[in-house]
């Protein structure tokens, strides 16, 4: 499979998938690099998963997708300290 993520050091290289694994973040593919090392890559960073239409329509100009920014905003909101009215 080919690594398609534009900022990955192996971007554009065709690698052999030797397996997959699951963790709390989801599935990752285990790809073998030429020297025998194994690299774990999310499937979304390869040609296994179809390209996101939002990325294609944007001509790959946007750094983030709207859904990702909304998720980040929710995370920041949960993490920021609550203002205490008991001072």
CA quadruple 56, 58, 61, 66: dihedral sign: negative
- The confidence score (pLDDT) of residue 6 equals 81
Q: What is the pLDDT of residues 23-80, one digit of tens each?
A: 888 899 999 998 889 999 999 889 988 777 777 777 767 777 788 889 999 999 988 8
The number of distinct structural domains making up the chain is 2
**pLDDT above 60 (res 21):** yes
Q: Do both 62 and 29 map to the same domain? A: no
87 belongs to a structural domain: no
Cβ pair 43, 49 in contact under 8 A: yes
Q: Do both 10 and 43 map to the same domain? A: yes
Q: Do both 2 and 34 map to the same domain? A: yes
Strand 16-23: give its sheet, edge to edge: 16-23, 26-32, 38-41
Q: Do both 7 and 42 map to the same domain? A: yes
Q: Do both 19 and 57 map to the same domain? A: no
Q: Do both 39 and 22 map to the same domain? A: yes
For residue 85, name the pLDDT band (cuts at 50, 70, 90): very low
Q: How far apart are CA 72 and CA 41, in angstroms?
A: 21
Domain that holds residue 66: 51-80
Q: Do both 44 and 64 map to the same domain? A: no
Structure tokens belonging to residue 30 = 């285990």
27 belongs to a structural domain: yes
Put simply, whether the predicted model's pTM sits higher than 0.75 gets the answer no
Q: Do both 68 and 45 map to the same domain? A: no
Longest dimension (CA), the chain: 61
């Amino acid at each position: 499979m080919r690594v398609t993520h534009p900022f990955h050091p192996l971007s554009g290289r065709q690698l052999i998938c030797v397996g997959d694994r699951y963790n709390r973040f989801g599935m990752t593919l285990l790809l073998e690099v030429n020297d025998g090392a194994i690299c774990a890559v999310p499937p979304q960073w390869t040609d296994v998963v179809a390209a996101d239409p939002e990325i294609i329509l944007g001509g790959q100009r946007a750094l983030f997708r709207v859904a990702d920014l909304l998720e980040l905003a929710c995370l920041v909101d949960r993490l920021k300290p609550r203002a205490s009215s008991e001072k």
